[in-house]
């Protein structure tokens, strides 16, 4: 029997479905002999820049964590099994998972390859929310051999927090009346939306728990964090009016990529080579999404892990690797402190769709721009004629592969199926 209290007349019922240790779980489903063993998925296991992407719960018992350098993970867990990521395998599993969610409701908002929100407010005929969640969890496990946790709440923030409260294979209900005993005692660093740096700032105000944040005078928070302080306090008090938006899957704010160097370097030529390669990757992804950028951001991480991020706002939109590289190297020359570099990143921001941008040309840049445009058009025409870019062989083909931000690319393709 359906209990009406589960479906309030003026409220919503939101699920947050979160796959547990997704990449590792997919590999275990593909090869059952891996089950019960400490497993880590990592890029470039043979190189220093190998970083743990995710790990099984068996590996986590040893302290293996996401983003941990692989050499450290192996030190903590000598028997660790390490596998390279198989993105096509994960993409296929994710699509099957979202198909199961779509059997319940069309109001689904994927937020990454392994998690998404569902609005089940109109699904009363299918049972109570806990019953629906249990059926979803069972289907995902029985049909795909994958575990997931589900948070049930009146809004997205609380649903997200709830799904993290019991893993793996948990179903957690978090109502507003439960805040004081379930949410507020949690450390402030465990609050969704509070990163490490923000947590450090809040702790300087003696805000150690989510409850401390919820009950702090809002003016204190706005002085410290600006408008974000008020937004975080609203979340801590269970206030979140954001709808589950299926169209939000198409939104993205930046396109970027980074790489950890094989060795720390102060070699200017090597830095330029890396920045040019990164710029080509960003260009490839911008072209696939048909967007232009008016801001370029450079990230430099030094040998001691200190990270510096600098950006430049441009007077006009750009889209080509040469333009991205020119801005990135200019930023590097301005802000590099001569200390050995460990990691470099290039990001295009302030994006706009090509179809919506009108190039504002003035007397000073018209001739230069027009000349470039003829060249780009000629290349595009030849590409269309021969089915590939005939000039690609002049540079390394690998440089322009779309190989980064797999999560964002997955979301961009989600609704094309």
Superfamily of domain 252-416: DNA polymerase, Y-family, little finger domain (3.30.1490.100)
> What token pair was written down for 273?
């080579």
Assigned token pair, 225:
């964090």
Fold category of 180-236 in CATH:
DNA polymerase; domain 1 (1.10.150)
Structure tokens that stand for 247 in this block: 């169209």
Q: pLDDT band for position 417 (50/70/90)?
A: low
Q: 213 and 157 in contact (C-beta within 8 Å)?
A: no
User: Are 129 and 13 contacting, i.e. CB atoms less than 8 angstroms apart?
Assistant: yes
* All residues at 6 or more sequence positions from 351 whose CB lies less than 8 Å from its CB, including other chains: 252, 253, 254, 255, 286, 291, 292, 293, 294
Residues placed in the known binding site for Mg(2+): 18, 114
The rounded percent of the chain whose pLDDT value lies above 70 is: 81
Which of the four pLDDT bands, split at 50, 70 and 90, describes residue 49?
Answer: low
Q: Which of 34-48, 56-70, 174-188 has the lowest mean pLDDT?
A: 34-48
Is the distance from CB of 168 to CB of 147 less than 8 angstroms? yes
Give percent above pLDDT 90 in the chain: 63
267-280 confidence digits (pLDDT tens): 999 999 999 999 99
Strand partners, 258: 345
Q: What is the mean pLDDT of residues 179-200?
A: 94
Could you tell me the residue ranges of all domains in the chain?
1-174, 180-236, 252-416
Rama region for 61: left / alpha / beta (φ>0; ψ in -120 to 50; rest): alpha
Neighbours of 262 (CB within 10 A): 11
Phi, psi of 287 (to 5 degrees): -65, -40
For β-strands 81-83 and 39-42, DSSP reports them as parallel
Q: Which residues are annotated as a binding site?
A: 18, 114
Q: Measure the CA–CA gap between 95 and 144, rounded to whole angstroms.
A: 11
Which pLDDT band holds residue 100 (cuts at 50, 70, 90)?
very high
CATH for 1-174 (3.40.50.920, 3.30.450.40, 3.30.70.270, 3.30.70.260): 3.30.70.270
Q: 97 pLDDT band (50/70/90 cuts)?
A: very high
- Which residues are catalytically annotated? 115
């Amino acid at each position: 029997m359906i209990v009406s209290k589960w479906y309030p007349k003026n409220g919503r019922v939101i699920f947050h479905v979160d796959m547990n240790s997704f990449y590792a779980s997919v590999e275990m489903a593909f090869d059952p002999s891996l089950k019960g063993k400490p497993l880590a998925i990592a890029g470039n296991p043979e190189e220093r820049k190998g970083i743990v992407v995710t790990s099984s719960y068996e590996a986590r018992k040893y302290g293996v964590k996401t983003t941990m350098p692989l050499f450290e993970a192996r030190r903590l867990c000598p028997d660790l099994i390490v596998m390279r990521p198989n993105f096509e395998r994960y993409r296929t599993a994710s699509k099957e998972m979202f198909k199961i969610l779509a059997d319940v409701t069309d109001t689904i908002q994927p937020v990454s390859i392994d998690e998404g929100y569902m609005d089940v407010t109109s699904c009363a005929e299918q049972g109570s929310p806990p019953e629906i969640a249990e059926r979803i969890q069972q289907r995902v496990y029985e049909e795909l051999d994958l575990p997931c946790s589900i948070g049930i709440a009146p809004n997205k923030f609380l649903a997200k927090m709830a799904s993290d409260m019991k893993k793996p294979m948990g179903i957690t209900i978090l109502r507003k009346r439960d805040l004081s005993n379930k949410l507020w005692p949690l450390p402030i660093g465990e609050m969704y939306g509070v990163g490490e740096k923000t947590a450090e700032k809040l702790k300087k105000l003696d805000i150690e728990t989510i409850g401390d944040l919820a009950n702090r005078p809002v003016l204190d928070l706005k002085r410290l964090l600006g408008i974000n302080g008020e937004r975080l306090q609203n979340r801590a008090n269970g206030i979140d009016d954001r709808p589950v938006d299926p169209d939000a899957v198409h939104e993205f704010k930046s396109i970027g990529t980074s790489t950890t160097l094989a060795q720390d370097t102060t070699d200017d030529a090597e830095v330029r080579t890396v920045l040019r390669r990164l710029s080509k990757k960003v260009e490839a992804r911008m072209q696939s999404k048909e967007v232009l950028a008016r801001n370029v951001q450079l990230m430099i991480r030094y040998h001691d892990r200190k990270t510096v991020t600098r950006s430049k706002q441009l007077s006009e939109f750009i889209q080509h690797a040469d333009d991205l590289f020119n801005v990135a190297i200019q930023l590097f020359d301005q802000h590099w402190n001569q200390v050995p570099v460990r990691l470099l990143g290039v990001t295009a921001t302030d994006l706009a769709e090509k179809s919506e941008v009108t190039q504002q040309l003035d007397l000073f840049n018209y001739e230069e721009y027009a000349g470039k445009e003829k060249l780009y058009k000629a290349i595009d025409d030849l590409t269309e004629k021969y089915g590939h870019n005939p000039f690609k062989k002049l540079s390394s083909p690998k440089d322009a592969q779309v190989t980064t931000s797999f999560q964002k690319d997955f979301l961009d393709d989600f609704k094309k199926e």
